[in-house]
Amino acid sequence: MWLKPEEILLKNAFKLWVTEKDNEYFVLQRRRGYGEGGGGLTGLLVGTLDTVLDSTSKVAPYRILHHTPDSQVYWSIACGVTKEEIFQHWDWLQQNIMRTLSVFDSSEDITSFVQGKIRGLIAEEGKTSLVLEDDPEKFREALLRFEKWFELPPEEKLVTYYSCSYWKGKVPCQGWLYLSTNFLCFYSYLLGAEVKLVISWDEIWRLEKTSNVILTESIHVLAHGEDHYFSMLLHLNETFVIMEQLADYSIKRLFDKEAFQRVPALSDPLQITKRGLEAHAKSEQFRTFFRLPKEENLLEVHESFLWVPFSHFNTLGKICLSENYLCFASQDGSQCHIIIPMREVVNVEKPDSSSRALTVCVRGKRALRFSEVRDYQRLANTIRSRCGISASPQHSASSEAIRGECQSLINHFEDNPEDVTLMVGQKDSSKAVSTEALMTVFHPQDVENLDPKMLKEKMKEQSWNIHFSEYGRGTSMFFTRKTRDLIVRGVPEALRGELWMLFSGAVNDMATHPGYYTELVEQSLGTSTLATDEIERDLHRSLPEHPAFQSDTGISALRRVLTAYAYRNPKIGYCQAMNILTSVLLLYAKEEEAFWLLVAVCERMLPDYFNRRIIGALVDQAVFEDLIRENLPQLVEHMTDLSFFSSVSLSWFLTLFISVLPIESAVNVVDCFFYDGIKAILQLGLAVLDYNMDALISCHDDAEAVTILNKFFDSVTNKDSPLPPTVQQASVGNNDKASHISVDISELIREAYEKYGNIRSEEVASSRKRNKLYVIQTLEDTTKQNVIRVVSQDVRFNASQLDELYNLFKRQHFLSCYWTMKSPALLHHDPSLAYLEQYQLGFQQFSVLFSLLEPWAFCTTKSTLSLWVFRLIDENQDGLVNFKEFCCALDTLYSGSFTNKLKFLFKLHLPPAFTGSPLHLKEQRIHHFIPVTEDSSPFSRLTAFDLPEDGVIKKSPERGRGKVDLQAYLKQWQNEILKKEETIKDLPRINQTQFIQFSKTLYNIFHGDPEEELLYRAVAHVTSLLLRMEEVGRRLQEPSSPPESTKPASTSAAEESSTEEASTTPESSDTSSSHNSQDAGPDLTETEWSFSFEQVLASLLNEPAIVSFFERPVDIQAKVGQARVAQLKLKANK
């Protein structure tokens, strides 16, 4: 075990210890009297001494000491009872510490680092044991340190923490790594130097395990263009997995909401725990491996043996139990696995308690025997209870009859294990739907036709029938290596639909949702949306040469399936490539089956493929590039830029090669895809590139490479296909194949499996997670660059400043999403919108960020002025401000001329920004404007936008199911183009109440300035002058003088206002101006006075102090730097 470093004097201990191993910095010693030889008389004395002493004083027989070459001081850092234990510690020091120590310059630094590392390891071991014992005390201490060091909002949930080293340059800092829901944090304090690091998960571009000369193994994090390395973790793999899960959780929650909304278990960021993340990851693996619906969760795992009749032996594996399925997979997962829906289970019996066995009887006279199950009684009861919940009406026979039937099955099963006919299943007679598979309608098989291709097709069918007789048929079939071999050879046309349903898991979806598709078709019939318009446009482009889609039968079926799916999942709606895929599904599956196959592909097997950003396809292309680097080094050497393969292979992934291969060959690829998932597409892609390696290496440009690949795909044939020649020829097209050697698709697929079949699904899943971070951040960076390019044309900020402002703007958006379940800002983020509208701020987020960045500190968070600014710059009045609107406002305040700055302030006090109600009333009602929680309405004035998504519905064509008014879009666009520059003459006059508030705003702006008194007097002078001018002008215009009672009130109110404002502090001026506006208001209703902007501008231009104040430059860079630091703290202090 590791020991707290303590100083010892080695010279007094030479006779008690023998050195076993040593190096420059460490010594491994054995105590005399232990081990080989016993140590003679000295060893005997030492052994006696150790035996006589009580247990608390006994010394461990092995220890490791730390020292430096130029020091006589030694430190004990580890001890061990056995040689194996101490050698494990020694090896760990050699692998993780020795290389690192070479970077230090002084002995003191080396000793300090080693001591810190050992203390961290001790704490790590203690923490692990405490977690296992569910003792929260240690975790509470870590949580207090976390809150103290990083000053994050109290809602931030600490998930776990680890001792590790963080590499700052070439020198490691020993400290603590804290992993929370939204942030990766590190803290170190060593030799007076404090290192503090806070990175939000949504800012990370790369997260991977790496190793180099100095670091044997470390975790690499890339964020904001900076590399961060964390090493010497006691549980590196566990740490990396948790980091990967938290990063993936953040990406799904903040960027990929379609996928996130399907994971209710992780919807609340305040409830995320390490255990919850691990359970979610295991459930996800479980569902992916067994192709189960998204609702299933892994509840129990039991190790057991399963009797496999076709192999005549028991295979070791694991029983995995979810809400509605009982699954088994052999130890390596490839030998065999089976999925048993609970709805298929008839009964569970425990025939033999001595072997801890239970037998599961399923429909179709089948039984499965599990043995050596540790907790077999509880498992049997669990299965029974779950079957009872989900049992079908036809299973409600008497329990005695069921038990009798099961007992006879069990006896027969035990007495005749060689009788494999027991495993014969019966094909499910699923509910008939309105249509048949289009292939059976348009290409019925001629039974009397005995040409070679049909004979081969019959032989394939016979092979599968033999397979069914041995391994079962239907939902409870055994999946084995032999199943894959048959798939690679090609699936017979008659069985294709059935097997696709089985391998994809769609058969379970359809069985558990009877009548669902029919209801969807009825509900979606006649709806008119953007998706239905696109579907109609693409209907006749889907396999147009195929006879099935030259008739109304095929077109109508395709329309119904695509429209029903768009209605079911409006987030995806309809995307190009879905029509091609669905066309092929309809050829071999019934209409309802084709629908559920489409659900399985879009929502499980190819997640995030079919949306506007096709994130899933881009991620898999990045995975494909990694595999090319690993498996085709020759190609990589010749073509250093692999992005070419990403562009050319996009259609391969989106359409599963259907768009590039002839139809009779493409269906063989789809066979493999439904069995092996995306792994089959990746393998085939590598095989295609490998087959054309020489030609690709010799080509001179991308166009030539594309031509080579296109010609290759046109030359691929399926010599065993029974399809009529007309269909095959139509699929191939008009390309001349005579000059190219034909390639058989079965041979190509077999070669792909032989050469690249060692690619593991787990590796693909890990690579997907790693590349998803990079793909998402690349898309986000593209969005940022496009936004900056658009905004830069209207503002005077440079690209660097806009970049920093965008980062602050986006971060403010996310700060409102981190700690709430249904943040309006999170709902407003829609990647399908235009670039400028993807990130927008509601009033709460805007007021915080604007108060940090505005130049004169006149807007505090949630102030009335912030509300007026928000209303002013929210041009379309949707309750949201985009980045362009935000930057234009800041640009006016920082870089605008005196006239433009004054015009901005003037417009703040006009509708729609200024409501015109008295100030004291507005301050009382400010709580109505500002939401108490993140979920409430931004402010009462915008009643039309109380619902969080309403502001987005107006802009997003994809939201809702209503028809998009394209004419309105075009008109709005035309108005924006024709919009002329506003002149000062276009501004309305400012009335009495507005002018008094305008004067107060000027006082607020000048408060705290070195020339505050001079500026106050200048404002008072201008106010007094304007009031007198207005009074004179009104007298000249009026035919007779006003009533005596009104005139003194008017004059006295104006002069009192200007005098008191000039002589009081800003705090008292708030009261005085409010008081005056209240007192004067009722008396002046009949003689309301007002000013034009030209009058105000002319008066203020005569005050040099005011002009110089507004023309004084303010450093935006300094403000941005301060905002970056204060942004998170301001949120924490709320």
- The alpha carbon dihedral of 1032, 1038, 1041, 1047 has a sign of negative
Q: How far apart are CA 863 and CA 927, in angstroms?
A: 10
| Higher pLDDT, residue 134 or 689 | 689
Q: How large a percentage of the chain has pLDDT more than 70?
A: 75
Q: How far apart are CA 319 and CA 304, in angstroms?
A: 7
- Decide: residue 920, CB within 10 A, 0-12 exposed, 13-18 middle, 19+ buried: middle
C-alpha 778, offset from chain centre: 14
Count Cβ neighbours within 10 Å for each residue of 226-264 and write b for 16 or more, e otherwise: eebbbbbbbebeebbebbbbbbbbbbbbbbbbbbbeeee
For position 213, what pLDDT does the model report? 59
Give pTM, 2 decimals: 0.75
Average pLDDT over residues 126-151: 69
Confidence of residue 265 (pLDDT cuts 50, 70, 90): low
Average pLDDT over residues 964-980: 62
| Higher pLDDT, residue 370 or 641 | 370
Average pLDDT over residues 597-611: 89
Highest mean pLDDT among 111-125, 549-563, 980-994: 549-563
* 352 pLDDT more than 60: yes
- Decide: residue 310, CB within 10 A, 0-12 exposed, 13-18 middle, 19+ buried: middle
For position 877, what pLDDT does the model report? 82
Average pLDDT over residues 996-1009: 88
Confidence of residue 916 (pLDDT cuts 50, 70, 90): low
Q: How far apart are CA 567 and CA 560, in angstroms?
A: 10
Mean of all residue pLDDT scores within the chain? 78
* 422 pLDDT more than 70: no
* 954 pLDDT more than 50: no
| Higher pLDDT, residue 653 or 72 | 653
For position 572, what pLDDT does the model report? 84
For position 884, what pLDDT does the model report? 92
323, 287 Cβ separation under 8 angstroms: no
The DSSP call for residue 134 is: T
* 167 pLDDT more than 50: yes
* 805 pLDDT more than 90: yes
Pick the range with the lowest mean pLDDT from 8-12, 14-18, 183-187, 1089-1093: 8-12
Average pLDDT over residues 313-327: 89
Confidence of residue 1071 (pLDDT cuts 50, 70, 90): very low
| Beta-sheet pairing, 479-480 with 716-717 | unpaired
648, 635 Cβ separation under 8 angstroms: no
For position 356, what pLDDT does the model report? 81
In sequence order, what DSSP letters do the residues of 293-311 get, joined into one string?
Answer: -TT----EEEEEEEEETTT
For position 99, what pLDDT does the model report? 76
- Looking from the CA of 833 toward its CB, the CA atoms found within 13 Å total 19
480, 317 Cβ separation under 8 angstroms: no
Q: How far apart are CA 871 and CA 852, in angstroms?
A: 18
Q: How far apart are CA 745 and CA 664, in angstroms?
A: 9
* 508 pLDDT more than 70: yes
In sequence order, what DSSP letters do the residues of 948-972 get, joined into one string?
Answer: TTHHHHTT-TTSSSSPP-HHHHHHH
Q: How far apart are CA 346 and CA 333, in angstroms?
A: 26
Nearest Cα neighbor of 369 from 421, 413, 311 is 413
At position 179, the amino acid (one-letter code) is L
For position 1065, what pLDDT does the model report? 41
At position 68, the amino acid (one-letter code) is T
C-alpha 815, offset from chain centre: 16
The DSSP call for residue 616 is: H
Q: Which pair of structure tokens corresponds to residue 450?
A: 């005995």
At position 805, the amino acid (one-letter code) is L
Average pLDDT over residues 512-523: 91
25, 66 Cβ separation under 8 angstroms: yes
Q: Which pair of structure tokens corresponds to residue 135?
A: 């003792």
For position 470, what pLDDT does the model report? 87
* 499 pLDDT more than 90: yes
* 423 pLDDT more than 90: no
Confidence of residue 429 (pLDDT cuts 50, 70, 90): very low
Beta bridge partners of residue 189, listed in sequence order: 194
For position 263, what pLDDT does the model report? 57
For position 926, what pLDDT does the model report? 38
How far CA 210 is from CA of 178, 216, 219, 620, in Å, comes to 20, 8, 6, 22
828, 842 Cβ separation under 8 angstroms: yes
* 416 pLDDT more than 70: no
First to last CA, the chain: 45
How far CA 1025 is from CA of 992, 1021, 1058, 1098, in Å, comes to 14, 6, 10, 11
Q: Which pair of structure tokens corresponds to residue 868?
A: 């007026």
Confidence of residue 2 (pLDDT cuts 50, 70, 90): confident
| Higher pLDDT, residue 773 or 816 | 773
* 827 pLDDT more than 70: no
* 623 pLDDT more than 80: yes
pLDDT per residue as tens digits for the range 445-456: 665 566 777 888
pLDDT per residue as tens digits for the range 384-395: 888 874 433 434
At position 692, the amino acid (one-letter code) is N
632, 625 Cβ separation under 8 angstroms: no
| Higher pLDDT, residue 327 or 979 | 327
The DSSP call for residue 854 is: -
Confidence of residue 955 (pLDDT cuts 50, 70, 90): very low
| Higher pLDDT, residue 1037 or 962 | 1037
1088: helix, strand or coil: coil
Q: Which pair of structure tokens corresponds to residue 236?
A: 């590196």
Q: How far apart are CA 138 and CA 146, in angstroms?
A: 12
206 phi/psi in degrees, rounded to 5? -135, 140
Q: Which pair of structure tokens corresponds to residue 342?
A: 């609970």
* 440 pLDDT more than 90: no
611, 656 Cβ separation under 8 angstroms: no
Confidence of residue 83 (pLDDT cuts 50, 70, 90): confident
1080: helix, strand or coil: helix
* 557 pLDDT more than 50: yes
332, 315 Cβ separation under 8 angstroms: no
* 221 pLDDT more than 90: yes
In sequence order, what DSSP letters do the residues of 391-453 get, joined into one string?
Answer: --GGG-S-HHHHHHHHHHHHHHHHH-TT-GGGG------PPP-S---HHHHHS---TT---HH
716, 748 Cβ separation under 8 angstroms: yes
Bond preceding residue 912 cis, omega within 30 of 0: yes
Length of the chain: 1134
Average pLDDT over residues 570-579: 86
330 phi/psi in degrees, rounded to 5? -65, 170
65, 10 Cβ separation under 8 angstroms: yes
Confidence of residue 254 (pLDDT cuts 50, 70, 90): confident
Confidence of residue 879 (pLDDT cuts 50, 70, 90): confident
pLDDT per residue as tens digits for the range 921-935: 334 333 333 333 333
Q: Which pair of structure tokens corresponds to residue 503?
A: 């391998």
| Beta-sheet pairing, 2-8 with 74-80 | antiparallel
Nearest Cα neighbor of 383 from 408, 412, 346, 423 is 346
- 339 Cβ partners below 8 Å, 6+ apart? 290, 291, 292, 325, 327, 475, 476
For position 408, what pLDDT does the model report? 55
pLDDT per residue as tens digits for the range 771-794: 999 999 999 899 999 999 999 999
* 412 pLDDT more than 80: no
354 phi/psi in degrees, rounded to 5? -65, -35
- Decide: residue 289, CB within 10 A, 0-12 exposed, 13-18 middle, 19+ buried: middle
1012, 1103 Cβ separation under 8 angstroms: no
For position 821, what pLDDT does the model report? 60
Q: How far apart are CA 94 and CA 103, in angstroms?
A: 15
820 phi/psi in degrees, rounded to 5? -130, 150
* 660 pLDDT more than 70: yes
- Decide: residue 1017, CB within 10 A, 0-12 exposed, 13-18 middle, 19+ buried: middle
